[in-house]
Amino acid sequence: MHDPAAAASAPLSSPVSDGQDAASVADVARAGAAVLDEVERAVVGKRPLLELVLIGLLADGHVLIEDVPGVAKTLTARSFAAVLQFDFSRIQFTPDLIPADITGSALPDGRGGLTFQPGPIFANLVLGDEINRAPPKTQAAALEAMEERQVTVDGTSHRLPRPFTMLATQNPLESEGTYPLPEAQLDRFLLRVSVGYPATDAEVELLRRRVQRRSNEVPLRPVLDAAGVAALQAAVETVAVDDDVLRYVVSLVQATREDARTEAGASPRAALALVAASRARAALGGRSFVVPDDVKAMASAVLAHRLVLRPEAWIRGVTAQTVVADALAGVATPATLTESDRT
């Protein structure tokens, strides 16, 4: 078990520009494990989910979480914000939400002029709750923020803080009063993940901890800060990807395009996202290079939500995950690289 308190005092929590050495892949693995250990104190028995969310953060991407209410979607976001010392905000998306409710607006300053008042999107970690309940115009405002890391109000662009990540949720059980997310916005999410119900032992442990704690709140210790996370993100950019792995990624996305069950397969943006997520996973595992297993592990979470199935496939019960799984089964895997091979 890693010591989160020790990680909190590590040089990673200071800006690299202040004379600290740049973070390494080993730093990513060490600090990443400490972050996961601490968050798991609040979100019990969901280590694979937490790893995916952290991979999204390390790859500087956004994560869409789809699942039923009450399975710790909001708790996951709040816990990461606390452990990473991020500025955090929560936006409850509703049908009457307008773009200014997200981006902010220009307000009278009392001297005959206007002053921009930032909205809740101006945070390091934004929880977009039930994002598909907002009307398309409001979703478009969120789309600009996610893609360009800025918002435009009255013709003036305002940069968002860095790092900036949106964790958005959707409730699959409810459909009334929702607006389907446009394909362009779905494509902006690096990953789509599902929480799922906890295993029996994990749920018993969850209850046991609550009884022993005598409080709903789980006090979490900080492990990093925003500058430390930015340093880890820069370290992920140093992870190498050999050409045979790049060709493997391209072969996978081409297989989804050529599948007769898809109306639209994975785009070049999806291929870039798969490489980014694979690099983050490799760094989290302490490796300075990507192996095919990284690509395989991230393929479904990265590609499935970007596919558009033909109506007849949907009627037959085919899912996007099925298409990705068939692509993985049908595309030859390149030989796994080892550290000695890389050397």
pLDDT tens per residue across span 267-300: 999 999 999 999 999 999 999 999 999 999 999 9
**Distance in angstroms (rounded) separating the CA atoms of residues 254 and 251:** 5
What mean pLDDT is reported for the chain?
86
Planar angle of CA 224, 227, 230, nearest 5 degrees:
100
Q: Are residues 191 and 252 in the same domain?
A: no
pLDDT at 340: 54
Domain containing 292 — which CATH number?
Answer: 1.10.8.80
pLDDT at 205: 86
**pTM of structure:** 0.86
Contact yes or no for 281/297 (Cβ under 8 A): yes
Is 94 domain-assigned? yes
pLDDT at 2: 40
Is 60 domain-assigned? yes
Confidence check: pLDDT of 252 > 50: yes
| Residues whose CB falls within 8 Å of the CB of residue 29, separated by 6 or more in sequence, listed in order | 283, 284, 285, 286
Q: Are residues 251 and 170 in the same domain?
A: no
Q: Are residues 151 and 243 in the same domain?
A: no
Q: Are residues 174 and 203 in the same domain?
A: yes
Contact yes or no for 203/100 (Cβ under 8 A): no
Q: Are residues 185 and 262 in the same domain?
A: no
Q: What percent of the chain has pLDDT over 70?
A: 89
Is 227 domain-assigned? no
pLDDT tens readout for residues 187-205: 889 999 988 788 888 889 8
pLDDT tens readout for residues 57-107: 999 999 999 877 777 788 899 999 999 999 999 999 888 899 899 998 888
Q: 190, 219, 248: which is the final residue of a domain?
A: 219
Domain containing 124 — which CATH number?
Answer: 3.40.50.300
Domain that holds residue 142: 42-219
Is 21 domain-assigned? no
Q: Are residues 60 and 138 in the same domain?
A: yes
Q: Are residues 74 and 215 in the same domain?
A: yes
Q: Are residues 172 and 268 in the same domain?
A: no
Q: Are residues 120 and 60 in the same domain?
A: yes
**Distance in angstroms (rounded) separating the CA atoms of residues 1 and 163:** 27
Q: Are residues 317 and 205 in the same domain?
A: no
pLDDT at 342: 55
Is 229 domain-assigned? no
pLDDT tens readout for residues 129-178: 888 888 888 888 888 888 889 888 887 888 999 999 999 988 664 555 56
Is 305 domain-assigned? yes
Contact yes or no for 66/172 (Cβ under 8 A): yes
Q: Are residues 132 and 198 in the same domain?
A: yes
Q: Are residues 265 and 189 in the same domain?
A: no
Q: 219, 249, 273: which is the final residue of a domain?
A: 219
Is 4 domain-assigned? no
Question: How many domains does one find in the chain?
Answer: 2
Is 33 domain-assigned? no
- Higher-pLDDT residue of 281 and 206 is 281
Q: 151, 184, 219: which is the final residue of a domain?
A: 219
